[in-house]
């Protein structure tokens, strides 16, 4: 009996020690899932430019982020934020006429932040979509598979500036992994991809902003549930008020205006049916601030 007790203590201690390793978790199941927001840059603009009916006198902050999800089976990123080469990419590919609309502040790329914290190289990066401010750091993660929906991969082969930067996508080091969704319903979505097969991290299609845009559900061990929606909206207020992007913004960035409006309506319906769900637009600094989990802090 004493030997069995000692072995049990050793097993518990081993799990505890492993749980403290950077970039990894040790317990199996949803209880170990955590997430963190890696801020890479920000910019201040007028609320009116972020959604139709916004205030022309109110300044709001938008951010460029990557979302780090830690799971017992591995860590992944959802989008990359702005990368180490963004200045050169922007100079090469952003048309002069569009530059005033798409400025950004000082950049601290995700990869140096992860390296400084002692994280092992990320093995999988999922793109909400392939626009320049989400794909900038793909070349910073040559070890990772770059997962994106097949419609988005097809779109990137044809699209160009100002939405898509060829300079970000042409590197031979990028390990593309186009995928197709399963015909498995998840919530209101007819198709989904359950990455870890335990319901903790689930992707679903939400076309409009781009043909292959996707969203990511994350359920933490605490039971708290999040929906990361990429650029379906830029501000959470657009969901509450069911408003599209401001017309000039939408004309520049939304691939399909009608589908984009449908996507906003879908998010409004989702929020109404699941009030405790936290919907997180990719650029909404107010929502990011409220989460209180900027890297290296995590929500658990």
Task: Report the DSSP pairing between strands 225-228 and 59-71.
Answer: unpaired
Tokens found for residue 235: 């501000």
In this predicted model, which residue has the larger pLDDT, 27 or 89? 89
8 part of a folded domain: no
Identify the pLDDT of residue 31: 63
Task: State mean pLDDT over 103-109.
Answer: 97
25 part of a folded domain: no
Average pLDDT, the chain: 91
* CATH number of the domain bearing residue 222: 3.60.15.10
Distance between CA atoms of residues 186 and 58, nearest Å: 37
Identify the pLDDT of residue 29: 52
Q: Is the pLDDT of residue 113 over 50?
A: yes
12 part of a folded domain: no
How many other β-carbons are positioned within 10 Å of the β-carbon of residue 182? 11
How confident is the model over 55-84, as pLDDT tens digits? Answer: 999 999 999 999 999 999 999 999 999 999
Residue 33, Ramachandran bin (φ over 0: left; ψ between -120 and 50: alpha; else beta): beta
Identify the pLDDT of residue 30: 58
- Alpha carbons within 13 angstroms on the beta-carbon side of residue 290 total 10
Q: Is the pLDDT of residue 87 over 50?
A: yes
187 part of a folded domain: yes
In this predicted model, which residue has the larger pLDDT, 2 or 77? 77
Nearest to 182 by CA among 168, 172, 193: 193
Q: Is the pLDDT of residue 137 over 80?
A: yes
What is residue 168's three-state secondary structure?
Answer: helix
How confident is the model over 176-189, as pLDDT tens digits? Answer: 999 999 999 999 99
Domain that holds residue 238: 30-291
Residues 6+ apart with CB under 8 A from 235: 47, 50, 51, 54, 60, 281, 283, 284, 286
Identify the pLDDT of residue 2: 41
Task: Quote the distance between the C-alpha of residue 300 and its chain's center.
Answer: 17
Q: Is the pLDDT of residue 51 over 80?
A: yes
Q: Is the pLDDT of residue 18 over 70?
A: no
176 part of a folded domain: yes
How confident is the model over 217-262, as pLDDT tens digits? Answer: 999 999 999 999 999 999 999 999 999 999 889 999 989 999 999 9
Task: State mean pLDDT over 271-295.
Answer: 98
Identify the pLDDT of residue 52: 94
186 part of a folded domain: yes
Q: How confident is the model at residue 23 (pLDDT cuts 50, 70, 90)?
A: very low
**Of the given ranges (12-26, 84-98, 198-212, 223-237), which has the lowest mean pLDDT?**
12-26
Helix (H) or strand (E) holding 214, with range, is: strand 214-219
What is the number of domains present in the chain?
1
How confident is the model over 151-171, as pLDDT tens digits? Answer: 999 999 999 999 999 999 999
24 part of a folded domain: no
Residues 6+ apart with CB under 8 A from 93: 132, 161, 162, 165, 166, 167, 168
23 part of a folded domain: no
CA dihedral sign of residues 156, 112, 285, 204: positive
């Amino acid at each position: 009996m004493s030997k069995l007790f000692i072995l049990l203590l050793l097993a518990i201690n081993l799990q505890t020690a492993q749980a403290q390793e950077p970039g990894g978790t040790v317990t199996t199941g949803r209880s170990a899932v955590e997430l963190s927001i890696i801020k890479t840059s920000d910019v201040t603009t007028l609320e009116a430019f972020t959604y139709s009916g916004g205030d022309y006198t109110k300044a709001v902050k938008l951010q460029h982020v990557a979302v780090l999800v830690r799971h017992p089976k591995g860590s992944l990123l959802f989008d990359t934020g702005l990368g180490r080469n963004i200045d050169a990419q922007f100079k090469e590919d952003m048309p002069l006429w569009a530059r005033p609309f798409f400025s950004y502040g000082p950049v601290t790329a995700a990869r140096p932040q992860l390296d400084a914290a002692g994280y092992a190289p990320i093995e999988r990066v999922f793109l909400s979509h392939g626009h320049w401010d989400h794909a900038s750091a793909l070349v910073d993660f040559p070890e990772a598979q770059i997962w994106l929906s097949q419609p988005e991969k097809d779109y990137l082969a044809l699209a160009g500036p100002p939405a898509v930067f060829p300079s970000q996508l042409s590197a031979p080091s990028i390990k593309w992994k186009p995928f197709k969704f399963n015909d498995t319903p998840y919530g209101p979505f007819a198709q989904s991809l359950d990455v870890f097969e335990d319901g903790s991290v689930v992707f679903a299609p939400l076309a409009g902003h781009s043909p292959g845009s996707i969203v990511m559900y994350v359920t933490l061990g605490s039971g708290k549930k999040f929906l990361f929606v990429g650029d379906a909206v830029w501000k959470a207020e657009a969901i509450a008020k069911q408003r599209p992007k401001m017309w000039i913004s939408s004309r520049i960035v939304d691939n399909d205006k009608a589908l984009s409006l449908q996507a906003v309506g879908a998010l409004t319906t989702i929020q109404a049916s699941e009030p405790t769900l936290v919907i997180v637009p990719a650029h909404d600094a107010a929502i990011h601030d409220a989460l209180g989990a900027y890297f290296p802090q995590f929500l658990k």
